[in-house]
Amino acid sequence: MDEMENIFLAELDPGHSASIQRVEEELRPLFTALPKSATGRLDTSTVRYALHRYFVEQHGWFIKGLDHQGGAPNSSFSGSIMKDRAPSYIQGLFEQSLQGKGFGLHEIAAFAATLTDIIQGEAIGDLQHVFTSLDLPKDEFLMRDDSDYAIKAYLITYFGDRFAKDKAGLKSLERRLIRIYPGWKDSFIFAKDLRFAHELSQSTRHNPFVEHRDTFNDVASFVREFVHSFGRFQNTECVDLKRRLVDMEHAGSGRVRLSRFYKDGVEKGDWTFMNSVAYLRMLGALDETDPNNPIVIIPNYINSRANCISHSGFYSLCCLDECEGLMRVLEREIAGPSAVPARIAGVVSGLRSDTVDAPRNLSTKSLTRLNDIAAYHDGVVPLHGRLFAQWMHHAYPRECVFPQISGTTDPMSQNEWNHRFGFKSDATKDEMLSYVNSYNDAGAADYGKDVEDLLPWDFVEELVVSHKPPTVPTLGFATLWRPLMAFAALVAVVKPLAQTSRTLPGSKIEQYTV
């Protein structure tokens, strides 16, 4: 706790203004677009939402405690602070300093910088442990072989979470790592290339007339650079994963039938895709609209905890969310928390993705749904709500996650699953075989249909910031909604239809069901 307070105070020091300004510029488009209080500042839940998006986009870091499952800011702490409670504790420090005024851009940037410093501190702590374990000096010059040795040992610790005590132990850990992490060799090559580039960038600081010799600080400087940069390299594996899933997708829907998902494992022994149905469902990656033909949602699966590397006490390294890039452009253009449908449609129609060309004409159904969202929200579409996220999924089915209704999923890593339930998250070969053998051509008629006709749509709203809906939702294109309203009236005879509101832990997210 003392360490966190010291880092927090250091980041608020005017001497850190240059680094804070850089983070401010990176956060500015998102900050501008987020809903704010009357004083132009952000509340607690919005700050967490903003920081979660920032770290996912910048580094692929899924920081524990920034998601809705994180602890409340005012939680009490005893003994040493748990690492997944760090964001809550830091936020509490800020709130005490701000005296309830809310967060401005500068405070959010300082918050992000503080978390970054803590994460880097953890990495340097691991490096110190490596030096101690291998009996390498921290305050003397190193032979090049020793610095190479230390870096390799740190990287093996980074991926495998075990420390080597000598060179023989290091080789043993590397053999184990190759078995559990197929990407190790490519990652090590990346690290060597990054080190060369890093040393080249630092060469101007060294005396050109004296041969430079490595020190602990030189190795630590590289480790900081590696921790910052590896996420974007790691994402190349995610890009390959997406390409493979798109090759399997059903009727251009951004979804893969479970029978096809398991097929290569059963027929070719390729066990890349072998997550159990229960685990996929828990992740929110399974579309069971048709229970006889469950379908894996490509972006939900790629961006799930199943594809994260958990090596830090503070975060997991996950795939970069492609929809973040699209939202960043949209937020920069809109420069506000909401907009009229025509403005949003104009931006999105010119916004291309990896698999969607632009410019394009949005479908009548897409425009109708956008107008219906606006009608529900007094004429404007909130950019940071579930309905708009669902609309973006329809517009970019391979890039944007389908937003599951809160409380219906419980995302966790495979290790967390194994620990909680006592058995692996993988499907057995017999389970996979049962789906492959039960494959039928029920979906053959889907080919040739508009993608939007194949994707589920439910009018359930959830907002990042508390929002009061109209007393009686007035939906656009009334003639299209009359059959629905008539059905609602019929249901009301049997079971009252009421608006429901729930708040998630650590945030103000309200849900309204029509």
Domain ranges of the chain: 2-123, 141-232, 249-320+424-444
> What is the enclosing helix (H) or strand (E) of 345?
helix 341-349
Q: Is 485's pLDDT higher than 60?
A: no
Average pLDDT, the chain: 82
Strongest mean pLDDT among 166-180, 279-293, 448-462: 279-293
| CA pair distance 215, 212, nearest whole angstrom | 10
User: 472 versus 42: which is more confidently predicted?
Assistant: 42
Q: What percent of the chain has pLDDT over 90?
A: 53
Report the C-alpha gap between 232 and 321 in whole angstroms.
Answer: 11
Q: What is the mean pLDDT of residues 57-82?
A: 56
Average pLDDT over residues 191-210: 86
pLDDT reported for residue 243: 96
pLDDT at 215: 94
Mean of pLDDT values over 315-329: 93
pLDDT of residue 446: 64
Q: What pLDDT is stored for residue 500 in this prediction?
A: 35
- Distance, in Å, from the CA atom of 181 to the CA atom of 309, rounded to the nearest integer, reads 10
Flag whether pLDDT at 17 surpasses 70: no
Please report the pLDDT score of residue 280 as a whole number: 97
Q: What is the pLDDT of residues 379-408, one digit of tens each?
A: 999 999 999 999 999 999 999 999 999 889
Q: What is the pLDDT of residue 12?
A: 61
- Please give the Cα distance from 152 to 223 (Å, whole number): 11
pLDDT at 87 over 90: no
The answer to whether 223 and 154 are in contact (CB under 8 A) is yes
Nearby residues of 404 by Cβ (< 8 Å), 6 or more positions away:
284, 300
Q: What was the pLDDT predicted at 271?
A: 84
Q: Tens of pLDDT along 412-429?
A: 888 889 989 999 999 999
The token pair at 251 is: 């009727």
pTM, two decimal places:
0.82
Residue 286 pairs in a beta bridge with 296
pLDDT at residue 464 is higher than 60: yes
| Residue 33 · residue 334 · CB < 8 Å | yes
Residue 166 above 60 pLDDT?
A: yes
Residue 4 has pLDDT above 90, yes or no: no
CA dihedral 180, 184, 185, 189 (to 10 degrees): 180
Neighbours of 220 (CB within 10 A): 19
Please give the pLDDT value at position 169.
Answer: 83
Q: Which of 67, 64, 74 is nearest to 100 (CA)?
A: 74
Query: What are the Cα distances from residue 464, in Å, to 34, 300, 377, 406?
Result: 9, 19, 14, 12
Q: Which of 514, 511, 505, 512 is nearest to 72 (CA)?
A: 505
pLDDT digits (tens, 9 = 90+) for 203-261: 877 777 677 889 999 999 999 999 999 999 999 999 999 999 999 999 899 999 999 99
How many angstroms separate the CA atoms of 493 and 375, rounded?
26
Of residues 250 and 64, which shows the higher confidence score? 250
Spatial distance between the Cα atoms of 338 and 374, rounded to a whole number of angstroms: 9
Query: In this predicted structure, what is the pLDDT of residue 472?
Result: 37
Fill in the DSSP letter of residue 404.
Answer: P
Closest to 364 (Cα-Cα) out of 249, 480, 250, 513: 480
Q: How far is the C-alpha of 171 from the C-alpha of 162, rounded, in Å? A: 12
Tell me the residue ranges of DSSP E strands in 122-194: none
Which has the higher per-residue pLDDT, 86 or 277?
277
- Summarised one tens digit per residue, pLDDT across range 99-146 is 667 889 988 998 898 889 889 989 999 999 999 988 999 999 999 999
Predicted confidence (pLDDT) at residue 454 exceeds the cutoff of 90? no
Is residue 49 within 8 Å of residue 35, measured between CB atoms? no
pLDDT at residue 511, rounded to an integer: 39
Strand residue runs (E) in 182-312: 255-257, 286-287, 295-297, 309-310
